[in-house]
Structure 1
Amino acid sequence: MKSILLLAYQISPTRGSEYGVGWNFAINLALKNKVFLVCGASGDHMGDTKEIEEHFTNHPNSNIVIIAVKPSKLAAFINWFNKKGLTPLFYVAFMLWHRKVYTIVSELIKNENIDLIHHLNPIGFREPGYLWRLDKPFIWGPIGGAQFVNPVLMKKLPIDYKLLILIKNAATFLQLKYYWRIRHAIARTSQLVFSTEENRRNFERFFGRTGHLISEQGTFVVKAIEATGIHTSVSNLRMVWVGNVIRRKNLIFIFSALALVSPRDKWELNVIGDGPEVNFLKELASDLGISGNIVWHGRKPRSDVISLIASSDLHLLASLSEANPAVLFEAMSAGVPTISLDQNGMHSTLANGRGVLVPITTYNQTLELFASEITSFILKPQTIIDLKQKMISYIDDSSWAKKIEQFEIIYDSVLEKQ
């Protein structure tokens, strides 16, 4: 049994995305290892660790030692401005939080026999923390965020958001090229792991380091499938989209593609989620003549989201930039295939027939091809039934158990070299 210090800033047994990444890694690693779990948020903001602390109080795990790190007074003060909308200040507060983590862990390893340190999340490359400075094997990853938004996809975006994307692309380039702490962390890292091929390629380009390719998300058993099997009624194509309704998720593209799908009375799209773009998108759907095909569910409990996904035929994804969104693996877990743009994490996760990847060429060509893929499923419903049946074999390949096995091999390899 190894003793692993797992740095998972965000962790929750009830939330998805980064929170789910932290949770699933911690719980699955603890099946065979002693896990010292360093965390900072199970709620919306830094220091809100009430849920995760209460969980382990009510459901103790002898293999998990939870170390909930609260922000310092200065970090909490700076993060107050983040809560009020000055988002960039979060990274200043987050850096200070990591400094406190370093102080706490420095003392911890004097009294505990820690075999290695795994810096898990957030997966973004911009904040490597400080634990790489310690005299312990250091694993970092899966790493994300080191990708650039494809300018082809910006065509129909508002001018202010286009400018924001260009600024973010420039910031990513500058951080990859010049941020000294990232370079120092990489130099001291025993093993890098990447969430997407693009991230691995950019690290090799800027830092001369490569590593394993393992997505940060995993599949799981969906009770709806256990009880009723895969949903295979395709008289009308029932599609689903899940996420925060924000510009980055690119629902403008999906709605524009759906306006090209024919026949129009043979499909519906269930939109699960809420956000600042809802009213704009409802107006867009009306202008495109597809508002009658779209069902707006708003935010739903995670169990309801999984059930809605499981009752769908097709999952749509067209984000401007993603690593491996949790909903992609939730759809895979439910045996529901995904149509996605061929980029980011989906390029690897949906390869080899695990879904439908639409190549990005020109904006209009990409739009038309996305629409034609949906239309083909309407005209040939047996095709989607066959594809959904194939999804069953992919669930185990992408499971959390398999993912942890991959990391166990990495851990053992690193420790053997010590």
Structure 2
Amino acid sequence: MINVLINAYACSPHWGSEPGMAWNWISCLAQHCNLFVITEGEWRKEIEEAVSIHPYRDHMHFYYHPVPDKIRRMCWNQGDWRFYWYYQKWQKKTLQIARQIVSENRIDILHQLNMIGFREPGYLWKIEGVPFVWGPIGGMELMPLSFLKGVSKSQYIKACVKNLINDWQRKHHPRVLQALHRAFALIAATKGCADVIQGYHHQDVVLINETGCSKNDSPENLHDFHKPGLELMWVGKFDSRKQLGLAIATMEQLRDISVKMHIVGAGSEAESRHYQNMASQSGVDSEIVWHGLLSNQEVQEMMRKADLLLFTSIMEGTPHVVLEAVKNNLPVLCLKTCGQGEVVDSSIGCTIPLTNPKDCVRDFAAQIRKLYDNRDLLQQMSDTCYQKQIELSWENKALRMMEVYKMGLSYTKSFRF
């Protein structure tokens, strides 16, 4: 059995997003290899409880490198750039811990797993004589500025500046370049990220979305696609990336048919007021139900009854809400971009090209009309979701990662470190 040293800053068996992603990778990889995991340790108690009952607990060895609570708060406050300074310091110390582990154990593979943002590749690549894997890697795409109509001037300027910084960093950041060229395998979370790595850095890339799907073993299926009307769901934060405005504008194009949209999520007071005013001015406020923030269980219960998830985001990794829709046999309509563009195909939903706001609204409305008139197609998409659950399962993703590891072992002797 091979030994793999994994760097996973955020890891938790009871959370979603980055912490849950890392835990699911580690939990499934432990079936196939012996893991040495360095993590920050905010959820040390939960990790140790989960490991104690894990069927492959003897293959899971955790090393904790905790940070103060103030740094954890910076991490949770997305957009707080101060966190990156502390995060780099954490990575430097992690290199020392990793070197100690390597000196005491036979390590066959080094793997920089998360956080997936490309700006911080860690320092495991500095360890010589052991193949280095980086990924899934995300965050290399730029914000399409044409979709920011209606945001404040300061928000628009902020997005422009962020695009400029991202563009420079993805091309020229010295440590990013070093990690890219030191790795024997690079794993991209999205096709957009893969295109950047291949286009600018001429490196081979394996495409594996960073998150997986749980299989729905429950026989309960509450969907009734042949009832009158159509029930849409929209789930997310009320920020510019999620583009709730596209969904409201789409509803305006559908006033001649019986369509209702359930909006789950929240934003600032100003954001909420902006979108509610938009719905009122568009004449569709009576066709929209504002649910606010709901528990994950409540969201999934709604998914088991809805007819279609309308997902309008333009900047994502691989969105967990889309995978939850697949788990609950709910067809998805989204833009063919980011992680959702790889997950959703014609077997379980519909995608439209990322063009401009006007054309996207037109295309969303056309697809919804098509499904409104063809309920058998909706039923067929829902029925196919189970096969997609298997394809996107964590177990299958772990097997794909093992293929990457074995490729590294096959070429270890000829690889020039």
**TM-score w.r.t. structure 2 length?**
0.90
- Contact kept, 8 Å, 1:11 with 1:22, in 2: the verdict is yes
Select the residue among 182, 200, 213 that pairs with 2:176: 182
Separation (CA, whole Å) in 1 of partners of 2:294 and 2:307: 19
SS in 2 for 1:124: coil
Separation (CA, whole Å) in 2 of partners of 1:365 and 1:409: 41
Separation (CA, whole Å) in 2 of partners of 1:32 and 1:156: 50
SS in 2 for 1:336: coil
1:373 partner amino acid: Q
1:64 partner amino acid: M
| Equivalenced residues, count | 406
- Contact kept, 8 Å, 2:221 with 2:304, in 1: the verdict is no
Aligned position for 1:124: 117
Q: How does 1:1-400 map to 2 (within 5 A)?
A: 1-40=1-40, 48-50=42-44, 52-56=46-50, 59=53, 61-71=57-67, 87-135=80-128, 136-223=130-217, 226-229=218-221, 231-235=223-227, 236-263=229-256, 266-276=258-268, 277-400=271-394
Separation (CA, whole Å) in 2 of partners of 1:345 and 1:212: 14
The verdict on how the C-alpha distance between 1:242 and 1:98 changes in structure 2, with shifts beyond 3 A counting, is same
User: Shift in Å at residue 365 of structure 1?
Assistant: 1.8
Q: What per-residue deviation string (whole Å, max 9, x for no partner) do you get for residues 102-121 of structure 1?
A: 11111111112222111111
SS in 2 for 1:141: strand
User: Shift in Å at residue 90 of structure 1?
Assistant: 1.0
Separation (CA, whole Å) in 1 of partners of 2:94 and 2:4: 15
SS in 2 for 1:227: coil
Separation (CA, whole Å) in 2 of partners of 1:68 and 1:300: 33
Q: What per-residue deviation string (whole Å, max 9, x for no partner) do you get for residues 59-95 of structure 1?
A: 3622211222112x7xx66666677887011111111
Aligned position for 1:44: none
Separation (CA, whole Å) in 1 of partners of 2:141 and 2:72: 26
Separation (CA, whole Å) in 1 of partners of 2:14 and 2:299: 12
- Contact kept, 8 Å, 2:95 with 2:124, in 1: the verdict is yes
SS in 2 for 1:249: coil
The verdict on how the C-alpha distance between 1:51 and 1:372 changes in structure 2, with shifts beyond 3 A counting, is farther
Separation (CA, whole Å) in 2 of partners of 1:323 and 1:82: 17
Q: Which range moved further: 174-183 or 247-256?
A: 247-256
CA RMSD in angstroms, aligned pairs only: 2.3
2:17 partner amino acid: S
Separation (CA, whole Å) in 2 of partners of 1:77 and 1:382: 53
SS in 2 for 1:369: helix
The verdict on how the C-alpha distance between 1:14 and 1:282 changes in structure 2, with shifts beyond 3 A counting, is farther
Aligned position for 2:415: none
The verdict on how the C-alpha distance between 1:313 and 1:138 changes in structure 2, with shifts beyond 3 A counting, is same
Separation (CA, whole Å) in 1 of partners of 2:210 and 2:341: 14
User: Shift in Å at residue 200 of structure 1?
Assistant: 1.0
The verdict on how the C-alpha distance between 1:139 and 1:352 changes in structure 2, with shifts beyond 3 A counting, is farther
The verdict on how the C-alpha distance between 1:23 and 1:189 changes in structure 2, with shifts beyond 3 A counting, is same
Gaps of 5+ in 1: 41-46
The verdict on how the C-alpha distance between 1:398 and 1:175 changes in structure 2, with shifts beyond 3 A counting, is same
Aligned position for 1:43: none
- Contact kept, 8 Å, 2:348 with 2:382, in 1: the verdict is no
User: Shift in Å at residue 227 of structure 1?
Assistant: 2.5
**TM-score w.r.t. structure 1 length?**
0.90
SS in 1 for 2:219: helix
1:233 partner amino acid: F
The verdict on how the C-alpha distance between 1:404 and 1:258 changes in structure 2, with shifts beyond 3 A counting, is same
- Contact kept, 8 Å, 1:177 with 1:206, in 2: the verdict is yes
2:15 partner amino acid: R
Q: What per-residue deviation string (whole Å, max 9, x for no partner) do you get for residues 102-144 of structure 1?
A: 1111111111222211111121111001111112211111111
The verdict on how the C-alpha distance between 1:62 and 1:91 changes in structure 2, with shifts beyond 3 A counting, is same
Separation (CA, whole Å) in 1 of partners of 2:58 and 2:302: 35
SS in 1 for 2:58: coil
Q: What per-residue deviation string (whole Å, max 9, x for no partner) do you get for residues 284-339 of structure 1?
A: 22222223333333333333322222222111111121121111111112221111
- Contact kept, 8 Å, 1:128 with 1:185, in 2: the verdict is yes
